[in-house]
Amino acid sequence: MKKIIFTIVALVFTTPIFAQNGLIEVTVTGIQNTAGTIEIGVYDHKSSFLNYGQEIKSARIKPTKTGGLHYTFENLPDGTYAVAVWHDVNGNREIDKNIFGVPKEAYGFSKNVFGPFGPPDFEDVSFQIVDRKDMKFTINLE
């Protein structure tokens, strides 16, 4: 009986060690100035992709220098994800566009894929976290 109780207690306390999830390390390059914030969103479905506020994880970072920055999203279960980044220079929490609908603020996506006449599709920038594998991306703002 003591062996059974010991085994149960050991399983309960060691399971979290083996049940850790993956992470996404994002390096953002191409930051031209320190105004505003760098907005990073992680999406897990095409229906929520690029819909502000529907990210499963997000970060708002005040850049302290031009060039680049790093951010890590932790505790992501196995699944399909896409990352979108933009530099919200004026802090209005939306991508400002010109009269033709072209973004005036720098932006980028996982895999550095850009759509020919608009943002890329979720499928074009998505990736898999499998077996708690960590993913690393450098996203160049354009």
Q: Is residue 10 part of a domain?
A: no
Q: Is residue 43 part of a domain?
A: yes
Q: Is residue 80 part of a domain?
A: yes
Q: Is residue 12 part of a domain?
A: no
The boundaries of the domain holding residue 99 are 21-140
| pLDDT at position 142 over 50 | yes
**What pTM was computed for the model?**
0.84
| pLDDT at position 133 over 90 | no
Greatest CA separation for the chain: 75
Structure confidence at residue 7 as a pLDDT band (50, 70, 90)? very low
CA gyration radius for the chain?
19
Kindly tell me the burial class for residue 57, based on how many C-beta atoms sit within 10 Å of its own C-beta (0-12, 13-18, 19 or more).
middle
For 117, phi then psi, to 5°, come to -135, 40
Q: Is residue 84 part of a domain?
A: yes
Contact partners, residue 101, CB within 8 Å, separation at least 6: 118
The per-residue pLDDT for 130 is: 93
CATH code for the domain of 47 = 2.60.40
Rounded to whole angstroms, the Cα distance separating 63 from 55 reads: 21
Q: Is residue 89 part of a domain?
A: yes
Q: Is residue 9 part of a domain?
A: no
pLDDT digits (tens, 9 = 90+) for 67-84: 999 999 999 999 999 999
Rounded to whole angstroms, the Cα distance separating 7 from 138 reads: 44
pLDDT digits (tens, 9 = 90+) for 18-65: 557 999 999 999 999 999 999 999 999 999 999 989 999 999 999 999
Task: Please state the domain count of the chain.
Answer: 1
Q: Is residue 29 part of a domain?
A: yes
Contact 76, 130 (CB under 8 A): no
Q: What is the mean pLDDT of residues 72-98?
A: 96
